[in-house]
Every structure is written in structure tokens, then in C-alpha cells.
Amino acid sequence: MAEESIRVLKHLRDGYSEEEPDVVLHSDSQVATKWRFPGWAQAIANELDLLEDGGYINSHLREMIDRYESRLKGRGWKEGRGFKLAEREDIDFANAFLEEIIPYLESRALL
């Protein structure tokens, strides 16, 4: 199970465009882009929930996840404040989080 979540997290990191669109993309858009940030960020959170349910989250990973979720809440993404446009710093933060957590998960998945 951890291997599948790692694969999904890698896809979320590598399989989505970083090019800023010319128009606002709504949740029903079929464009695979990180600029549809609420859906992309939620997909990351969903995989983390699956890892936690599977018992793969230790105290170090919990701290990493708490920082990620705290940042999302601080930027208004997890409080239901309504429509909000993604900013480059939101995407950069989530990318950095994925860059940090994926190698850590990979090293633990082999244990």
C-alpha cells in the first residue's frame, strides 16, 4: 500500500503542469495542472490519510504533515473561505513538501 501511495504522490509531483494558465480554471476543468490547487492539494492530503490509515505515519512524518496542513490552513485553503486563486508560493510550498516527503517514504517503504 505504501508503494502505491508513493507512486500517486510522485504522479502529483511530476504529472501535473506548472505552467500558469491564461484563464481561471474551475474544479470541473479536465486540465492536469497544479494551478487547480484546491483539488491538487486535497489529492496530496488524501494519500497522506491513506498512509496514516495503513499505519505508515510515524512521529517524524506526522510533524511534516502537520506543517503542510498548517500552511494550507494559514493560507485559507482548508477553512472553506470560498473561491481563492492559487499563487505561485502555494504551489512551490506543496512541491517542496512532496520533495521532502517522497524520499522519506521511499526509505521507509523498504523496511
Q: Is 25 among the domain residues?
A: no
Q: Is 18 among the domain residues?
A: no
Q: Is 22 among the domain residues?
A: no
Instruction: Give one DSSP letter per residue of the chain, joined into a string.
Output: -HHHHHHHHHHHHHSSB-SPPSSPPPTT----BTTSHHHHHHHHHHHHHHHHHTT---HHHHHHHHHHHHHHHHTTTTTT-------HHHHHHHHHHHHHHHHHHHHHHT-
Residue 82, domain extent: 35-111
Q: Which of 18, 28, 25, 19 is nearest to 98 (CA)?
A: 18
Per-residue pLDDT, 79? 53
Lowest mean pLDDT among 14-23, 61-70, 98-107: 14-23
Q: Is 95 among the domain residues?
A: yes
* Predicted model pTM: 0.78
Instruction: Give residue 96's pLDDT band: very low, low, confident or very high (50, 70, 90).
Output: very high
pLDDT tens digits along 12-64: 999 888 887 776 666 666 666 776 777 788 889 889 989 988 888 888 888 98
CB atoms within 10 A of CB 90: 22
Q: Is 106 among the domain residues?
A: yes
- The grid coordinates listed for 40 are 491538487
pLDDT tens digits along 24-36: 666 666 666 776 7
Q: Is 28 among the domain residues?
A: no
Q: Is 58 among the domain residues?
A: yes
Q: Is the pLDDT at 76 greater than 70, yes or no?
A: no
The count of domains in the chain is 1
